[in-house]
Structure 1
Amino acid sequence: MKPDWDKLMKEFEGSSSVLIADVDCTAGGKSKCEEVGIRGYPSIKYGDPDDLQDYNGGRSLADLQKFAKGLGPMCGPANMDLCDDAKKTQITEFLAMDAKKRESMIKEKEAEIEKLESDFKTFVEGLQKQYQESSDKKDKDVEEIKSSGLGLLKAVSAYQKKAKSEL
């Protein structure tokens, strides 16, 4: 995907309304990736830099080009004319709040997300433990079956089939 992404960046180089860029989440961009919620690689985000959304479309150059050509200004406090009535109302409410209240709400919602992530991680760890226990039990049970004479049983069966075919 990297070569196609590089072509796309070149295509939109110098655009006044669309920025196509990449960030190395394993090096200098690690803090930015954590800030915007990157959990896997490669990930594509789009939209307002303060409200990036996950891109879930195709990954071919043609898919990326088609999507990027539809990008531009989006609904937000700087582009209220692009918002539907519900978003306009929400933005107006947020603008009417004092900065402390907005920051408090942001922290509260980010804490909710962190709790969901933590709960999910705990759940997955439990599943992994269950999987490992089941896998170990299966391996032990299979070994018991094999050591109970399965190999000899197969050898005797093959020996008799061969002996009958030689008659």
Structure 2
Amino acid sequence: MKPDWDKLMKEYASSSSILIADVDCTAGGKSKCEEVGIKGYPTIKYGDPDDLQDYSGGRSFEDLQKFAKGLGPMCSPANRDLCSDEKKKQLDEYMTLDASKRESMIKEKESQIEKLESDFKTFVDGLQKQYQEGSDKKDKDVEAIKSSGLGLLKAVHSYAKKQKGEL
């Protein structure tokens, strides 16, 4: 995907309204990646830099190029005219709040997301533990069946067939 992404960045290098860029989340861009919630690589985000959205489309150059052609300014405080009436109402509500209230609301919502992530991790860890226990039990039970004489039974059966000329 990296060569296609680099090709797309070159195609939009001179654009005044669309920025196609990449960030190395393992080096200098680590804090930005944490800030926008990147958990795996490669991850593609788009939209307002303060409200990046997850991209879930195709990863070929053609798919990325088609998506990029549809990009442009989005609903935001700087582009109210692009907002639905519902989003304008929400923007107005948020604009009337003082900075400390907005920060408090942001922290609360981010905390809710962190709890959802933590709960999901606990759920997945539980599934992993159940899987491992089930796999270990299956392996033990299969070994017990084999140890109970399955191999010898198969050998006797094959030998008997040979003796009767069935093979």
Superposition TM-score, scaled by structure 2 size:
0.96
Unmatched segments (≥5 aa) in structure 2: none
**2:46 pairs with 1:35:** no
Amino acid at match of 1:65: Q
Aligned sequence identity (%): 81
Q: Secondary structure at the match of 2:101?
A: helix
Partner residue in 2 for 1:124: 124
Instruction: Report the Cα offset of residue 92 of structure 1.
Output: 0.7
Unmatched segments (≥5 aa) in structure 1: none
Count residues with an aligned counterpart. Answer: 167
Partner residue in 2 for 1:92: 92
1:142-157 equivalent positions in 2, closer than 5 A: 142-157=142-157
Deviations 1:62-104 (A, max 9, x none): 1100000110100000000000000000001101111111111
Supply the distance in 1 between the matched residues of 2:136 and 2:89 (Cα, whole angstroms): 56
Deviations 1:101-152 (A, max 9, x none): 1111001101111111111111111111111111111100000000000011
Partner residue in 2 for 1:18: 18
Partner residue in 1 for 2:61: 61
Q: Which runs of 4+ in 1 moved over 6 A?
A: none
**2:100 pairs with 1:103:** no
Supply the distance in 2 between the matched residues of 1:64 and 1:165 (Cα, whole angstroms): 66
Supply the distance in 1 between the matched residues of 2:51 and 2:80 (Cα, whole angstroms): 15
Superposition TM-score, scaled by structure 1 size:
0.96
